[in-house]
Amino acid sequence: MRIIVSSPPAGSPDIVARLLADRLALRWGRAVVVENRPGAGGNLGAGEVAAAEPDGNTLLSAQPAPFTTNVLLYRKRGFDPAALEPVIVMTTLPNVLVVRQDFPAGSVAGLIAYARANPGRLNYGSQGIGTTPHLTSELFASRTGTTLTHVPYRGTAQAVNDLVAGHLDLLFMQVDAVREHAAAGKIKMLAVATPERLPAFRDVPTMAEAGVADFRSDTWNAIAAPPRTPRPVIATINAAVNDVLRMPDIVQQLGRFGMRPAGGSPADMAAFVAEETRRWGEVIRAANISSN
């Protein structure tokens, strides 16, 4: 069996895929190999899986974009996201708002005031056009009446490193990618984009507490199968992954990366993807975002 990861190594879809692969191989007594196919916002890996035999031997581990927003961003994808068979949402990761260490504001209110006084002069990074950090930043700009400049990167590490180096002003990023830098004082964490505060950062307010109401952003990782994969095959994979995600040591390992196990049924994933597509589609249309 192959699990194709549609993003670079060491990202959250890669980490959780490799944890699952080890346990699934033991459970099934067969090799489960993880292969990375980054590129085109996740479309390369997703396209490869979409064209694979629907026998359960090739699966996709991906971030949200190939499932949700890429259909609105890329005219040429080589596959139909709606044709991929949902299997399971593996994990979720809360997103946080961080700024460079020497940024002249230490709160969300201060950031908003500074951005309004300097329209277009503040820049933010992301892993590319249409990624969750990009769309979250655009949502923030629209909700706060600010103008920010987007700097797209090819991956998470490059964007975070440039923030630490002071080349970027701010990032909305999954907490696992920035938590150590924040704890070391190399960057400042201003808020979490979740309804509740995070246990590891109890002193960091939520966006609502910081004055930006109804603002939620998290990222997630899911598994899908090629179109027309038989339902019994999908059910078998879904049950196995749910079992692995409930293992205490897996929960602990995921927690070290800031990830929370999700799980559920293929129908749960289908409904979740539909809602995420609707929610972020509104942001894309409002900001007139396109990769073409």
Q: What is the mean pLDDT of residues 81-94?
A: 95
Q: Are residues 86 and 108 in the same domain?
A: no
Q: Which amino acid is at 265?
A: S
Q: Are residues 19 and 163 in the same domain?
A: no
Of residues 106 and 155, more confidence is placed in 106
Q: What is the mean pLDDT of residues 184-205?
A: 94
Q: What is the pLDDT of residues 113-149, one digit of tens each?
A: 999 999 999 999 998 888 899 999 999 999 999 999 9
Q: Are residues 119 and 178 in the same domain?
A: yes
Q: What is the pLDDT of residues 205-238, one digit of tens each?
A: 999 999 999 899 998 999 999 999 999 999 999 9
Number of residues that make up the chain: 292
What are the tokens at 171? 């990032």
Confidence band, pLDDT 50/70/90 cuts, at residue 12: confident
List the CATH number of the domain containing 259.
3.40.190.150
Mind giving me the DSSP string for 130-167?
A: TSHHHHHHHHHHHHHT---EEEE-SSHHHHHHHHHTTS
Number of domains observed in the structure of the chain: 2
Report how far residue 5's alpha carbon sits from residue 31's, in angstroms, rounded to the nearest whole number.
16
Q: Are residues 193 and 279 in the same domain?
A: no
Q: What is the mean pLDDT of residues 153-173?
A: 94
Q: What pLDDT is stored for residue 11 in this prediction?
A: 83
The whole domain housing 176 covers 94-201
Start-end of H helices in the chain: 12-28, 43-50, 64-67, 70-73, 108-117, 132-144, 156-164, 175-183, 231-245, 248-256, 266-287
Check residue 1 and report its DSSP letter: -
Q: Are residues 88 and 99 in the same domain?
A: no
Q: What pLDDT is stored for residue 204 in this prediction?
A: 96
Q: What pLDDT is stored for residue 23 in this prediction?
A: 97
Q: Are residues 129 and 54 in the same domain?
A: no
Q: Which amino acid is at 165?
A: A
User: Checking DSSP bridges between strand 85-100 and strand 170-174, what pairing results, if any?
Assistant: antiparallel
Q: What is the mean pLDDT of residues 74-99?
A: 93
Q: Are residues 161 and 106 in the same domain?
A: yes
Name the burial class of residue 104, with classes exposed (0-12), middle (13-18) and buried (19+) by CB atoms within 10 angstroms of its CB. exposed
Q: Per the domain annotation, does 292 fall within a domain?
A: no
Q: What is the mean pLDDT of residues 47-66?
A: 96
Q: What pLDDT is stored for residue 8 in this prediction?
A: 85
Choose among 80, 17, 40: nearest CA to 222: 17
Q: Are residues 82 and 164 in the same domain?
A: no
Q: Per the domain annotation, does 52 fall within a domain?
A: yes
Long-range contacts of 226-232 (CB under 8 A, 24+ apart): 226/49, 226/50, 226/51, 226/52, 226/53, 226/54, 226/58, 226/84, 226/85, 227/50, 227/54, 227/80, 227/83, 227/84, 227/85, 228/54, 228/85, 229/54, 229/55, 229/56, 229/85, 230/54, 230/56
Whole-angstrom distance between the N-terminal and C-terminal Cα of the chain? 34
Q: Are residues 105 and 197 in the same domain?
A: yes
Q: Are residues 189 and 263 in the same domain?
A: no
List the CATH number of the domain containing 129.
3.40.190.10
Q: Are residues 99 and 190 in the same domain?
A: yes
Q: Per the domain annotation, does 210 fall within a domain?
A: no
**Average model confidence (pLDDT) across the chain:** 94
Q: Per the domain annotation, does 24 fall within a domain?
A: yes
Q: Are residues 42 and 106 in the same domain?
A: no
Which residue matches tokens 């409904």?
271
Q: Per the domain annotation, does 31 fall within a domain?
A: yes
- Asked whether residue 292 carries a pLDDT value surpassing 70, the answer given is no
